[in-house]
Amino acid sequence: MKLYPVVVRFHPCRCYLKPLKTLKKRIYLQSILASIVLFGLTSCSAIIQGLYGIKNSRTVDERTILRYSEKYAIPAADSYELEPSYISFLSSLNNVRYAEQSKNHYQPLQALYYDKEGQLKSFQVNCFAGGFPNLKWDRNETFTTFPPKNQAPIDSIVLLDTQLKYLKPLSQTKLHSADGYDYIVIVYWSRFMGRQSKRLIRYVQENSKLASTKKVKVLYANTDNIFGGQ
């Protein structure tokens, strides 16, 4: 029987596990093996990835980020890149105590809603959304209220000040202070997640219109260079 090489591809309904040492490294390897069992040959995996509109991951320059920002209706003044050192920060957390929480914060698609005290109040993550061929961000009418109903478990390992520390402004970014806002929303998006990124951004933007009595600022963090460099 002829054997074919297997390429593990991204799946938006799966939680990605960062390749860390010891316990997390074992979990990461187990995740890869599970992906191989579930998706089989490369051709099958490529079809699933294509149906979700996901592209192959690669590193990108600022020009590419800005081009896709415009395509996805992201204001250039609010566009950032997530620093790769953010992964080192997640890796530095207790491997046992915070394994699940850090895994959630490692995902390519996220919407994090922080209140004026810098506390996480609503957390939306790709692997909790489900759905095919598009992620169901509004499952159970999650986005019918502001802030949205909790989808992923709330934690306190990444407060707003920490998030802002790892947001790298682009050349057209207008720097904002969190002071004076009732909520700061940070959206993780990428070129490689294709229309799934675009749909999450649209949900967040439409949801923010429900906050008629609150002052809200949405910031957009591109994650292509986090996943493209692996």
In this prediction, residue 46 carries a pLDDT of 76
Mean pLDDT (the chain, rounded): 86
Write out pLDDT tens, residues 20-43.
444 444 444 444 444 444 444 445
Residue 214: band (very low, low, confident or very high) from pLDDT cuts 50, 70, 90: very high
Q: Report, as an integer, the average pLDDT of 5-30.
A: 50
At 33, give phi and psi (nearest 5°). -60, -40
**Would you list the domain boundaries of the chain?**
62-227
Q: Report, as an integer, the average pLDDT of 78-100.
A: 94
Q: Report, as an integer, the average pLDDT of 139-144.
A: 95
Using the CB atoms, write b or e for 195-205: b if 16+ within 10 Å: ebbbbbbebbb
Q: Which range among 12-16, 98-102, 127-131, 225-229 shows the weakest confidence by mean pLDDT?
A: 12-16
